[in-house]
């Protein structure tokens, strides 16, 4: 039969029609693909010789979902539900053949088919929640009917990609076929359907699993309560739950209509706009304008890490997790043993929670080799230094590394503030020196700031970006300045938080505003968590600040049971009368009468100054684009993704508004404060940060 349209092709093999879709890169359900499926299925139904239809994709994946770029535009006919309705109502069984990632609308397409087969490496999921929406083509109605409401709740609210073996066990997949033989396997399955006269199995007609929870509102209430923390601030998970409740309580068509209304509402919401922006921003961050795709990559087969402390240990785990051997160098045996012990414990805890096989604990540990001798790093392809944050120490480490490590290897520093150019200048190969700024805990946090020095070669940058992806990080390329993107902006916020303490706000007043805004915690809770004594040297003068006095009182944060807050033995924080008195003493000493600072002022002084710093970072070309700054904040500091990052948030407020507020607060913002000329210019011309891209 041949081409249905430019992206769909129909072949007839005896009694079986094979409709193959081919719309790179991910077979997203754009208008042309929907049309191809619709017309292809119609042709197959109309062909008397055909008894079953196989729906398969070419390229790297089965349909990975709706075409996100078409969102917000009117849906051209045939609509999603037209396509799905045609398939489900087909008088001839339709079999979906999955490979790659069947996601969102892709999985919904498969769920409207009568049978599903896949290769072992395939995954399926409904990740719409990450885009601030819910499945809008029957996913919330069909999934619970086949895998049960509990699994549907988990999958739809987490957006997890579930592997084929699990989906098979849970009944979503009917058969798993050989890895490289999807087409043949699907055709064989289709032949079986014909031979055994297997029925037209429609998921919409299943009710058994729904019936188990019908009339039991506690089932949903418990799920909501158990996940309240995780879902805090987000609309989409709650809407997903409501849609699944509707699947349980309403007839299929009514449930479908209800899902459609929720979907439409979310699609128009600011949260979804922010989350879709973040999706593309994350992919954009991987594109470096002056680095071509064919830039030579340095093979990284062996790595070295200097320092087995919290940072060094976490960094090493990333490589071991990805199967790359690491030599960890420490100054003494005790520190080395302690570091390796912590790593082992981390892996064992993960195994206890069932998220790692016991044999994998050993496999990963075997990739980690401890050493007390830097000479052991000689043949590494990449060495990352994670020693104490002190320029002199870092310099001496790099001087030594330069003399030891083979030529062509990458020498990286994990500094979070310091000047990478100065560090690179200690070597005779500054072009091979780069900053790899991991965030703590380094084995968990997804952000990696890759710091490009003035001499860093393109090949070293390209290799670092690629390696970041391999170890599961989201990399953002930044330039050299004090604190790079993330910590520099954090410092602007911290300065305001500290200043407001000296005007009458208590730490918990400030933290609450930022927490309610959606941050995981405020600056003072964060300081308590990290330890107030980081970088603290015992005061020699009487000019110690509040934080330093707390340290002197041995209130060094959560680890000592007290810091800005008091902690119980479960590390629950409560406002501390000791801190309150201390703050009041400081105010009295400075002759300041405390004033009531409004939540609005707290928020604006913390966030707008960050935005202003972000604008300066753009001006100075420390970040390539505004969206890169947002990716840093979402992935490194827990900025609520439903607000899209600080620069996107500024755009939603309007930059003129941000500037006006900064001017209003300016007298309190400190002597060093100035408004970014870029921000002022954009505000004056009615532009947004996004318009700069
Ligand atoms: C949905 O389905 C709604 C429905 O319920 C029904 C509504 C009625 N659309 O990530 P990569 C682009 S919502 C448009 O680098 P990977 C992407 O931007 C959707 N474009 O590759 C990139 O472009 P570029 C539910 C898309 O191999 C290129 O493809 N589905 C889409 O690392 C490669 O992407 C999802 O949320 C899309 N749906 O990962 C799945 N997806 O090269 C979203 C990708 O120009 N997608 N692009 O930068 C993913 O999670 C990953 O892309 C995937 C591949 C795992 C598929």
148-152, 266-270, 448-452, 540-544: segment of lowest average pLDDT: 540-544
Q: Is the CB of 2 under 6 A from ligand 1?
A: no
Query: Is residue 498 domain-resident?
Result: no
Distance CA 54, CA 192 (A): 12
Pocket test for ligand 1, best of 23, 24, 26 (most atoms within 8 A of CB): 26
Query: Is the pLDDT assigned to residue 342 strictly greater than 70?
Result: yes
User: How far is the centre of ligand 1, averaged over its atoms, from the C-alpha of 325 (Å)?
Assistant: 32
Alpha helices in 235-293 (DSSP H): 236-249, 252-267, 270-285
**Domain identity same for 320 and 440:** yes
Ligand 1 atom nearest the C-alpha of 79 is: 8
Instruction: Show which of 211, 241, 267 is a domain's final residue.
Output: 267
Residues 77 and 100 placed together within one structural domain of the fold? yes
For ligand 1, is residue 28 a contact (CB within 6 Å)?
Answer: yes
| CA of 641 relative to ligand 1 center, distance in Å | 17
Q: Which residues pair with 450 in a beta bridge?
A: 436, 477
**pLDDT at res. 74:** 86
With the most atoms of ligand 1 within 8 angstroms of its CB, the residue from 7, 23, 65, 134 to mutate is 65
Residue 413 sits at φ, ψ, to 5 deg, of -115, 140
Residues 572 and 611 in one domain: no
Q: Which residues are catalytic?
A: 108, 128
Number of structural domains in the chain: 4
Question: Is the C-beta atom of 137 inside 6 A of ligand 1?
Answer: yes
SS (H, E, C) 106-172: HHHHHHHCCEEEECCCCEEECHHHHHCCCCCCCHHHHHHHHHCHHHHHHHHHHCCCEEHHHHHHCCC
pTM above 0.90, yes or no: yes
The residue range of the domain holding 665 is 599-692
Per the domain annotation, does 393 fall within a domain? Answer: yes
Distance of alpha carbon 141 from its chain centroid, rounded?
A: 27
Q: What tens digit of pLDDT does each residue of 32-68 get?
A: 999 999 999 999 999 999 999 999 999 999 999 999 9
Ligand 1 closest atom vs CA 283:
48
What's the token pair of residue 83? 């396509």
Report which of 352, 347, 349 is spatially closest to residue 362, judged by C-alpha positions.
347
Residues 356, 436 within the same domain = yes
Residue 594 lies in a domain: no
User: Is residue 541's pLDDT more than 70?
Assistant: no
Domain assignment present for 573:
yes
Whether residue 356 has its Cβ less than 6 Å from ligand 1: no
371/693: higher pLDDT = 371
DSSP string, 559-613: GGTBSSEEE-TT--EEE-HHHHHHHHHHHHHHTPPP-PPPHHHHHHHHHHHHHHH
Q: Say yes or no: 432 and 337 in one domain.
A: yes
131 lines ligand 1 (CB under 6 A): yes
pLDDT for residue 324 is more than 90:
yes
Q: Is residue 295 part of a domain?
A: no
pLDDT(693) > 70: no
Contact 37, 20 (CB under 8 A): no
CATH of the domain at 527: 1.10.1040.10
CATH number at residue 350: 3.40.50.720
- Residue 103 Cβ < 6 Å to ligand 1: yes
Give the CATH number for residue 92.
3.90.226.10
At 534, the pLDDT band (50, 70, 90 cuts) reads confident
**C-alpha 267 – ligand 1 centre gap (Å):** 16
- Taking residues 283-304, what's their average pLDDT? 97
546, 664, 661, 685: which is closest to 611 by C-alpha?
661
539 confidence band (pLDDT: 50, 70, 90): low
Check if 63 has its Cβ closer than 6 Å to any atom of ligand 1: no
Which atom of ligand 1 has the smallest separation from the CA of 61?
56
Please check whether residue 220 lies inside any domain of the structure: yes
Read off the CATH number of the domain in which 611 is found.
1.10.1040.50
CA 65 to centroid of ligand 1, rounded, Å: 7
80 Cβ below 6 A of ligand 1: yes
Q: In this model, does residue 533 exceed pLDDT 90?
A: no
Q: 310 and 375: one domain?
A: yes
Same domain, 123 and 208: yes
Residue 653 is assigned to a structural domain of this protein = yes
- Cα(25) to centroid of ligand 1, in Å? 9
pLDDT tops 70 at residue 407? yes
> Could you tell me the distance, in angstroms and rounded to a whole number, from the CA of residue 73 to the centre of ligand 1?
17
Q: Are residues 651 and 676 in the same domain?
A: yes
96 and 196, same domain (yes or no):
yes
Which is the closest atom of ligand 1 to the Cα of 60?
Answer: 27
The pLDDT, as a whole number, for residue 543 is 76
Is 454 in the same domain as 538? no
Angle at 486 between CA 608 and CA 346, to 5 degrees: 130
Instruction: Give yes or no: residues 527 and 645 share one domain.
Output: no
pLDDT tens string 425-457: 999 999 999 999 999 999 999 999 999 999 999
What is residue 644's predicted lDDT score, i.e. its pLDDT?
A: 98
Q: Looking at residue 672, what is its pLDDT?
A: 87
Q: Is the pLDDT of residue 537 over 80?
A: no
Task: Identify which of 37, 68, 110, 161 to mutate to test ligand 1's pocket (most ligand atoms within 8 A of the CB).
Answer: 68
286 CA closest ligand 1 atom index: 48
Whether 469 is in the pocket of ligand 1, judged by its Cβ within 6 Å, is no
Q: What are 651-691's pLDDT values in tens digits?
A: 999 999 999 999 999 999 998 899 999 999 999 999 999 99
Query: 69 CA to middle of ligand 1, Å?
Result: 10
Confidence grade of residue 269 (pLDDT, cut at 50, 70, 90): very high
Find the mean pLDDT for residues 21-25: 97
Asked if residue 159 has its Cβ within 6 Å of ligand 1, the reply is no
- Ligand 1 centroid to Cα of residue 27, in Å, is 9
Residues 68 and 188 in one domain: yes
Peptide bond preceding 2 in cis form (omega within 30 of 0) = no
ipTM: 0.98
Residue 639 lies in a domain: yes
Give the model confidence (pLDDT) of 606-648 as tens digits: 999 999 999 999 999 999 999 999 999 999 999 999 999 999 9
């Amino acid at each position: 039969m041949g081409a249905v349209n430019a992206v769909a092709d129909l072949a007839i093999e005896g009694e079986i029609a094979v409709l193959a879709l081919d719309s790179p890169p991910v077979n997203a359900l754009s208008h042309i693909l929907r049309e191809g499926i619709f017309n292809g299925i119609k042709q197959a139904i109309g062909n008397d010789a055909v008894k079953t239809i196989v729906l398969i994709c070419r390229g790297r994946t089965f349909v990975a979902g709706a075409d996100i770029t078409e969102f917000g535009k009117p849906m051209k006919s045939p609509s999603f539900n037209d396509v799905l309705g045609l398939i489900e109502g087909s008088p001839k069984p339709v079999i979906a053949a999955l490979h790659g990632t069947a996601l969102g609308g892709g999985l919904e397409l498969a769920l409207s088919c009568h049978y599903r087969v896949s290769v072992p490496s395939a995954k399926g999921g409904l990740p719409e929640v990450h885009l601030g929406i819910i499945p809008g083509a029957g996913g919330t109605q069909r999934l619970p009917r086949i895998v049960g409401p509990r699994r549907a709740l988990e999958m739809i609210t987490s957006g997890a990609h579930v592997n084929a073996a699990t989906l098979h066990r849970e009944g979503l997949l009917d058969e798993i076929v050989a890895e490289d033989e999807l087409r043949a396997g699907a055709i064989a399955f289709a032949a079986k359907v014909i031979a055994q006269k297997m029925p037209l199995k429609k998921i919409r007609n299943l009710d058994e699993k729904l019936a188990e929870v019908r009339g039991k509102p506690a089932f949903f209430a418990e799920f909501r309560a158990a996940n309240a923390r995780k879902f805090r601030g987000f609309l989409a998970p709650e809407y997903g739950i409501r849609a699944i409740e509707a699947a349980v309580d309403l007839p299929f068509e009514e449930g479908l209509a209800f899902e459609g209304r929720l979907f439409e509402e979310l699609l128009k919401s600011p949260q979804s706009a922010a989350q879709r922006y973040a999706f593309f921003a994350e992919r954009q961050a991987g594109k470096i304008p002056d680095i071509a795709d064919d830039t030579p990559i340095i093979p990284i087969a062996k790595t070295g890490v200097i320092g087995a402390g919290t940072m060094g240990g976490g960094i090493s785990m990333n490589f071991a997790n990805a199967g790359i051997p690491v030599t960890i160098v420490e100054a003494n045996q005790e520190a080395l043993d302690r570091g390796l012990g912590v790593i082992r414990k981390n892996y064992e805890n993960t195994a206890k929670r069932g998220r790692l096989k016991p044999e994998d604990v050993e496999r990963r540990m075997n990739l980690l080799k401890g050493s007390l001798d830097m000479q052991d790093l000689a043949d590494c392809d990449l060495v990352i230094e994670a020693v104490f944050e002190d320029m002199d120490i870092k310099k001496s480490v790099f001087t030594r590394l330069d003399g030891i490590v083979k030529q062509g290897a990458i020498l990286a520093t994990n500094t979070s503030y310091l000047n990478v150019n100065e560090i690179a200048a200690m070597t005779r190969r500054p072009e091979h020196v780069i900053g790899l700024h991991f965030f703590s805990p380094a084995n968990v946090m997804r952000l990696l700031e890759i710091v490009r020095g003035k001499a860093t070669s393109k090949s070293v940058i390209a290799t670092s970006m690629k390696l970041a992806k391999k170890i599961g990080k989201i990399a953002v390329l930044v330039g050299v300045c004090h604190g790079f993107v993330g910590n520099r902006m954090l410092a602007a916020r911290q300065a305001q938080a500290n200043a407001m303490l000296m005007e009458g706000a208590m730490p918990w007043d400030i933290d609450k505003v930022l927490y309610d805004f959606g941050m995981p915690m405020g600056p003072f809770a964060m300081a308590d968590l990290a330890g107030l004594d980081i970088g603290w040297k015992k005061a020699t003068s009487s000019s110690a600040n509040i934080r330093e006095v707390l340290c002197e009182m041995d209130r060094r944060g959560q680890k000592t049971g007290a810091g800005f807050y008091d902690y119980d033995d479960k590390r629950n924080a409560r406002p501390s009368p000791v801190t309150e008195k201390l703050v009041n003493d400081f105010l009295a000493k400075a002759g300041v009468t405390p004033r009531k600072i409004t939540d609005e002022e707290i928020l604006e002084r913390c966030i707008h100054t960050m935005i202003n710093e972000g604008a300066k970072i753009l001006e100075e070309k420390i970040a390539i684009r505004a969206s890169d700054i947002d990716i840093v904040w979402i992935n490194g500091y827990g900025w609520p993704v439903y607000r899209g990052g600080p620069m996107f948030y500024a755009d939603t407020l309007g930059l003129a508004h941000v500037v006006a507020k900064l001017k209003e607060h300016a007298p309190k913002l400190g002597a060093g404060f100035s408004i970014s000329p870029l921000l002022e210019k954009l505000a004056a011309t009615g532009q947004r940060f996004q318009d700069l891209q």
